[in-house]
Chains A and B, each alone.
Chain A
Amino acid sequence: MRYAYFPGCSAESTARDMHQSTLAVARALGIDLVEPKGWTCCGATAGHQTDHFLAVSLPAANMAKVQDLKLDMVVNCAACFNRMKVANHEIAAQPDLRKRVGEALERDYDGSVKVRHFLEVLLDDVGLKAISRALKHPLNGLKVACYYGCLLVRPPKVMKFDDPENPTSLDRLVKAMGGQSLDWPCKVECCGGGLSLSRTDVVVQLSNSILDMASRAGADCIAVSCPLCQINLDLRQQDIHKQTGRNYHIPIVYITQLLGLCLGLRPDALGFRKLMVPASTVLERVAAN
């Protein structure tokens, strides 16, 4: 199994833990990830909120690089994954846009590179059976609230990722790892995303209601697959505590971190120390068996 792996900008800063755990899990499962040389930003939310052409061309520049590698593109950041798929969709459907993008890239790109999320690779290519066989420590009944957020599933027509209102990819993985995936209603609610710095008030309110629901469902931790969801839910627990007095103390872990633990990898190799709310309860539970 060999793929072109697009890390995304946050892999070099706020989401180094996601990047580190993705690489570690891939190595452990025999997945070969190749970084396209000179990869660049997908434009993220700021791109599509500013200019449509920018929002399509920035991802296209990366997919053109991947096309040369003749591999499928694998992305773990939900935001980059979303921008890539939307750009592909629009370029393939609009010949005029394809032409204008091609002029900026100084090469033609037809929108045909297959873009996949790392979760899809885990579930569809590796498979739950193989993952179960590779487990060294099960999650031992750990109660996990699986949180998908917005960008993995929306817009459904383009993303075609799981059920857009009640996705189960993370849940199936958690169950296969011996955890208890919780039934809760906030799987695809929004955490406030890119408004983290500009409208912290909005992010605090939205993240608070998600954390509140996870806490009521009895979650030991929330599993995520998006750097924006992770940082908002993790970092903003301090602000929520300051503003409302509520102290959730719920660790927000990447699914790749959980899987890495179960595969017997060291917590340090999975970036566990980088979490703002320490995941000691998770680590103790998995180590205890």
Chain B
Amino acid sequence: MPLTIKKNRTGPGLKDAVEKMCGAAMALCFQCKKCSSGCPVAKLAKSRPSEIMRQLHLGAGNELLASDLVWTCASCETCSARCPMGIDVAGVIDALRKLALERGAPKPAGNVPLFNRAFLRTVEMFGRSYEMGMVAAYKFGTGKWMDDTEKFPTMLKKGKLALLPPRGADRKTVARIFKQSKQNQGPYA
């Protein structure tokens, strides 16, 4: 598949920023494409991990953050585990996610960042994740109210969903961690 790198890239190249964030030695990549061969979502996304690596090499800028692989990646880490040069490719994708959040890249399909925010918000509030709260916040944000609702009655009956928020967690420590995280790294939201 041909690779297209825009001549008029947006902003400076991302390679240095990514390397600094995740410590991956990207110069070692020789395009063997083992990461793409093992990637379970490569066939479902427009771009593949080895292509992202090459684009970074060639100086791609912010436009890369809109690449659909960035948020279709399921974090299975098969790419990192199989890279013959020991490059943490999954770490590169995590870094691209972080940059996408910081630089306001367009919302991806399924709005995974909103899901992550909804999840972490319940952790921040209760010290543990609270599925009902997370699902409600996510559905409210996406407007996909009806998805999966047919399963809820059975799940509730089987005790697979907790109605009440979790109790007993050390919320103070968690609150300090979130506070520091926001201070250190800018807003995660």
Partner-B contacts on A (CB < 8 A): 9-10, 12-14, 16, 37-41, 43-54, 57-58, 61, 65, 100, 103-106, 150, 153-156, 164, 188-190, 192-195, 197-202, 205-206, 231, 235, 238, 273-276
Contacts and interface: CB of A to CB of B under 8 A. Distances in A.
B170 A38 contact: yes
B33 interface: no
Contact-residue size bin, chain B (C-beta under 8 Å from the other chain): 35 or more
Interface string B57-96: 0000000000000001011111011000000101000100
10 contacts: A37-B168, A41-B123, A45-B75, A46-B119, A50-B120, A54-B177, A153-B81, A188-B78, A194-B75, A276-B158
Contacts of A206: 40-41, 74
Contacts of B97: 49-50
Contacts, number: 188
A54 B188 contact: yes
A57 B177 contact: yes
B175 to A, nearest CB: 10
**8 nearest interchain CB pairs?**
A38-B170, A190-B76, A46-B116, A198-B115, A154-B77, A46-B119, A150-B76, A198-B110
Interface string B153-187: 01100111110001011110110111111001100
A247 to B, nearest CB: 16
A13 B116 contact: no
A205 B162 CA distance: 28
Contact of B177 (A37, A38, A104): A104
B129 interface: yes
B21 A58 contact: no
A200 B147 contact: yes
B44 interface: yes
A155 B80 CA distance: 7
Contact of B174 (A51, A61, A273): A61
Contacts of B177: 54, 57-58, 61, 104-105
B54 interface: no
B119 A190 contact: no
- Find the residue from A51, A65, A105, A273 having the highest chain B CB count within 10 A: A51
A100 B180 CA distance: 9
Contact of B180 (A9, A45, A104, A273): A104
B106 to A, nearest CB: 16
Nearest to A188: B78
Contact of A38 (B76, B169, B176): B169
Nearest to B164: A12
Interface in B127-143: 127-129, 131, 135, 138
A200 B139 CA distance: 13
Given A41-B127, A48-B75, A50-B98, A274 B116 contact: no
A190 B42 CA distance: 12
Contact of A46 (B44, B120, B174): B120
Nearest to A231: B160
A164 B148 contact: no
A193 B76 contact: yes
Contacts of B146: none
A190 B40 contact: yes
A13 B131 contact: yes
B101 interface: yes
